Structure 1
């Protein structure tokens, strides 16, 4: 029997369970051969045969990640996905305490992804996105053999829409962690020893970041990283989008040179502006959008938002925040990262002050430097904040 599990969603708690009954037969004085009782119906989670368990992915929140049959070696979610799993990467990543991330996408046979310019790609029902997080002992040596598996997150597009499932790795096994958790870890980062508690998000917290409000006012879950300008990068020497097109997985792809680019903080082949805006978009833009969780803030940090305007934070005062210990006034002060709240909150660690508010226990020094460099290079004439 399978028990359905639903996370608490901030203020409301929903509980769902299923039950069954039995039946007894009165004894008879004459011995008879009993009719064999059929064995209980096996859980769909246990119906795998070594391949991807599509039936379970579509219907069940399995307790054990291995029950979905996503990887050849169920103890290693960093490589060798079962067919039709494909490894992919992003040009700009969400910072997660220097964790390495191993991403895979599974598209049902005969289905395709549709390209949409400046938006998240459109995926067919049955799509599974898999992202495993592993913490290195040294941030300069990011290889699976030198890392500790922490969590694997699934984003599955079922008939009712996208759903999130967080799994925590312990003792060589990944089990469903509806309530999330914390994992203590120590790593070396450029000569500094960092000890911290890595936050594994609960299912409710997954929704906070992934939710968007549609035109009818309904909240839906959507992928964050599967956008053209983040996928428009090379993997094994080939452009990922072109590879997906050649494999028959991606339709409506325009000329590749018309698609925007973003890059990691240290990618000098991409402009400083593209790198900074790409970083803010992937780390902040999903919430700071018209339909995101932080829409009420009025701050819009999407990749294609005009960065010279008030909505991008130029000389904009944030509602509901007092400026922190330094009493700063504006989200972005052109020419002065030191006086910009946006940079300041990247460095704060208290839950009520830090940004992003979830999934971060450490300050991303490289991200702070990137955004600071970009803001310092903005012309002060963009806004007269003082």
Structure 2
């Protein structure tokens, strides 16, 4: 049996090598915006699969950002001999020439209609090696984040109908789709691909300079194992091994966010990780929402008022739902935070962009977390 498994693994590796052997080297474009995703040679469609070029390293996050139940394939590539410098709290210091990609896709629905996509957390049929099996998934968009001499540039690409390539889509796009759940229930929605100018809404770490930076490639998000072509390995350790990262400690000594679905982690760890990745890039002392006084990244202490405990809203408008505090300990239904998460209406919903549907499981998690908080809010009348 072990011999058969080794043979199968070797065959998969040889197939993957055969797929990317004919690919041109990854192209770093120091300026401009190529019209086709394929001009980057980071990921390309070959033989019914979306394959990664040589030197393109996939990664994933402990807790990912929610985007209408889309699945995501994330990759990073750096010029030969270059590497990022480790940072324990912020994004790593990546060299000029770094190309990061994120491909959004959905599993297909067996026997489904043209615009049906699966609402599922099961990714077991998504992958072919480290790439994607197009027999089982529908590609939606790929976003390129490239580090140029004058800073990071975000460039969006929309996959064409025949899934052969993706076209530059600087003004974004709207795709009518239908989510089909495991129980066959259906939800029509518009998948909204943000335009190029909206990228800074999330990727600007400092809202004064509004310079774009990576979000996911931080120690606490990628301190986890990944199933690479040659087996499982911690992502930080793997980046060190391939020369893409320097100065990192052993994974056990690096910060690590919880997986929001991991029932072995505490409720507090799971909720804080969820708020960190979904809200913290704006709700931090330097982010786009810094004027709200609501800090939701992992840096805020659990008992800090800036986390929203008994904190009145600053400028939520009708997004308050007539509630008085961001978080009322023990009372999620009286709290603004889950109210805004549970809406898909402009002017009410949070996050403001990046989704058109409600993440039902995420709302349930945050409600459970608020219900478990001790304390009482005092109102002055």
Match of 1:314 in 2: 309
> Equivalent residue for 1:264?
259
- Give the counterpart of 2:192 among 192, 199, 220: 199
Alignment match of 2:101 (pick from 112, 130, 150): 130
Q: Does the 8 Å contact 1:330/1:385 carry over to 2? A: no
Aligned pair partner of 1:301 in 296, 304, 308: 296
* 1:369-384 matches, cutoff 5 A: 369-380=364-375, 384=378
What do the CA deviations read for 1:89-119 (whole angstroms, capped 9, x no partner)?
1110000001010011001110111111111
**8 A Cα contact 1:212 1:219, kept in partner:** yes
Is 1:151 the counterpart of 2:124 in the alignment? no
Q: How much does 1:53 deviate?
A: 4.4
Q: TM-score normalized by structure 2?
A: 0.82
Answer yes or no: is 1:51 the counterpart of 2:24. Answer: yes
On the 8 A contact 2:82/2:243 being kept in 1, the answer is no
1:240 to 204, 219, 235: 235
Aligned to 1:41: none
Identify the residue that residue 102 of structure 1 maps to in structure 2.
73
How far off its partner does 1:213 sit?
2.4
1:168 aligns with 2:158: yes
Q: Please say if residues 237 and 250 of structure 2, whose CA atoms lie closer than 8 Å, have aligned partners that are also in contact.
A: no
Return the alpha-carbon distance in structure 1 between the equivalents of residues 64 and 141 of structure 2.
17
CA distance in 1, matches of 2:224, 2:154: 26
* Counterpart contact for 2:206–2:286, Cα < 8 Å: yes
3-state SS of the aligned residue for 1:58? coil
- Work out whether 1:85 is the aligned partner of 2:56: yes
TM-score (norm 1): 0.81
Contact 1:162/1:222 (<8 A) preserved: yes
Distance 1:51 1:380 in 2: 60
Say which is worse superposed, 304-313 or 87-96, in terms of deviation.
Answer: 304-313
Counting only pairs closer than 5 Å after superposition, residues 207-246 of structure 1 correspond to structure 2 as 207-213=200-206, 217-236=208-227, 237-246=232-241
Deviations 1:173-203 (A, max 9, x none): 3111010010111121242211110000100
Distance 1:330 1:276 in 2: 18
The answer on whether the counterparts of 2:74 and 2:101 sit within 8 Å (CA) in structure 1 is yes
Work out whether 1:178 is the aligned partner of 2:151.
no
Superposed displacement of residue 325, structure 1? 7.5
Q: Deviations over 1:231-282 (max 9, x none)?
A: 0111123211112122222211123223232233321232221111111011
- Distance in 2 between residues matched to 1:93 and 1:168, nearest whole Å: 21
Distance 1:313 1:68, change over 3 A: same
Aligned equivalent of 2:335: 340
Secondary structure in structure 2 of the residue aligned to 1:274: helix
Corresponding residue SS for 1:83: coil
CA distance in structure 2 between the partners assigned to 1:337 and 1:307 by the alignment:
17
Preserved CA contact (<8 Å) 2:318 2:347: no
8 Å CA contact 2:27–2:39 kept in 1: the answer is no
The number of equivalent residue pairs is 333
Match of 2:270 among 265, 275, 279: 275
When Rg is computed on C-alpha atoms for both structures, the one with the higher figure is 1
Q: Distance in 2 between matches of 1:385 and 1:280?
A: 26
Unmatched 5+ residue regions in structure 1? 1-48
Aligned to 2:129: none
Aligned-partner Cα distance in 1 for 2:312–2:248: 40
Change (3 A) 1:176 1:307: same
